[in-house]
Structure 1
Amino acid sequence: MIRVNGELINPNLLEEAFTRIKSEAELRTQVSCCERDEEFSKAAEEEVIDSILIAQEAEKNHRDLDEQEIARRLEELIKLYREHGASWEMLEAERDNLRDEVMANLRMERFMGEHIPEVAPPTEEELADYFESVKKQYRDLPEARCLHLIKMIDGHEDQKELLEEMVALRKRLLEGEDFSTLAKAETEKSSKEVDLGWIPLDRPTNPFETILFSLQEGEISPVLSYEHALHLVKVTERKGGMTPALEEIADELRNRYVVEKRQAALRALASKLRSEAVIEHVDFENPDES
């Protein structure tokens, strides 16, 4: 666990931040990012620590709040919960926690108003520059549809002979034989399936996908050794890999620009608070031992 200025961080906050950060990265890149879990975990830890530091600073600087404003906002919050089906019994049991939530939000609003400047929407020139810096994240996922012929290495005693057989099959295909017909006759896949359908570029360093996405429509691959088998593929269609025009996502970009500018200001403030903070990693079973 992590302790910030004596306050233990709820592990659920770290897990929620990790899940969100990873999901956002996968949505932007349209690629599974499991190999980056350590990176996402570190980013989640930094984000939660920063938020705790800012919340602590807000509480320290805004202890006195208007009771009437607290009461008004508390009733608004209770009304909102009621509209979403919460019972009066549950709300009464949670009233103290809800009041704490209202007070924390009020303190944060005041603190943000004092320390985080408002950000004007970007000019057209700024928007264009920002688009250039992030447009790769908006590129849609390349996909390829292909036909497939496979021979299992384990089923052949002479691997050199197997490779020569696959090279000979490739030569016949390059000379014009129909890939689908030949693959159905020669493949060692038990289902005799030769059309793999649409395959997304999920793993750019995977040998099969590296070859597949280096081919153009109608092109036949070299013989590929992968997962105890030799493969031949033919790309029949390609799609995706396109970036939308700036005009199509301008509103989203403007909002993202403003949010990122404010987040940068928050990170700068949190960095200053970190220099004065006591941040400890403690044993979960012995939280008093740093």
Structure 2
Amino acid sequence: MGKNTKIAIITSAVIVLLIILIAAIPEIVKSIDENRAVAIVNGEKITKKEFTINYKSQIDYYGLDKAFLSQKVDGKTYEEQIKENILEGLIIRQIELQQAKKRNITLTGQERKAIEERINQYKNDSENGLSFKQYLQTIGATEEEYKDQVIKSQIVSKLYDEVTKSQTASDSEIEDYYNSHKSDYEQVKASHILFKVSDPKEEAAKKKKAEEVLQMIKSGQSFEKLAQKYSEDDATKQKGGDLGYFKKGEMVKEFEDAAFSLGIGEISPVIKTTYGFHIIKVTDRKQLTLNDVRDEIKSKLESDKKEKYYQSLLEKWQKEAKIKKFENVLKSISI
């Protein structure tokens, strides 16, 4: 092989390599940019890419657009406020993941497999498969990056369970809570006649009809028969409007306030709620015993104690953490 031939071959190879390199430059630049830190927590980086995935996910979830994001409240745009909140959340999650690592809290093979199976169900579902793919495109995430976010969330959940497992409620705490909240565990049994209002234009007519039926009840006609004839609650009308027993917090406020103010056998005036107009009749009242609600109270007290204790740990971990934020990187992110 002659010298000129060798030079020509080498030159061609260099040109090919240069062409490949030039073609790859945008991807290299993009990768370098995405790997920039929006924050460093105890020496560990939260990348621009991870922040962007979470940011776009929230924007997509709430259906926000640039016009909304550009609006200002208290001197800051919604975009700036949302970014700050997301960054704060990611910093907290990074601290939580570090605490989980200290305690050797990881996902089991079975837990990871369950995540993969769930993702595969999304992908292979004829209805949801396309929307899942579109969602990944919208938030700028690969399937692996999406899975990574799910894994991190589940590890944090396991951390919470581990560090709060000692926060239990004693029998005396449960009893004290019941005795000071007895009214919350009173039940009424009520029936109602509903006149639905789906259009504000029909409100006056529906209220008038409700008042007419109320007068029929006051004149001695059967509440149950009038419910069967006039109520627009398909689930209860054939039962004379019977809703069964319920306690506070299980009905809309206006309905609940009216029902709990009535004695057995009493009829309410016409009550307006978001559903329309109601006439209510209370048919029974009873007090739930401590044994009836022990498990419910135990669950509530322990949930409250766990949350309070965990928040105190988070505050401690945050104070101890070394955190550095990069506002210039944050500002470069947009939808």
Do these two structures clear the TM 0.5 threshold for a shared fold by scoring above it?
no
TM-score bracket, shorter-length normalisation: 0.3 to 0.5
Q: Under a length normalisation based on structure 1, what TM-score does the superposition of the two structures give?
A: 0.44
Larger radius of gyration: 2
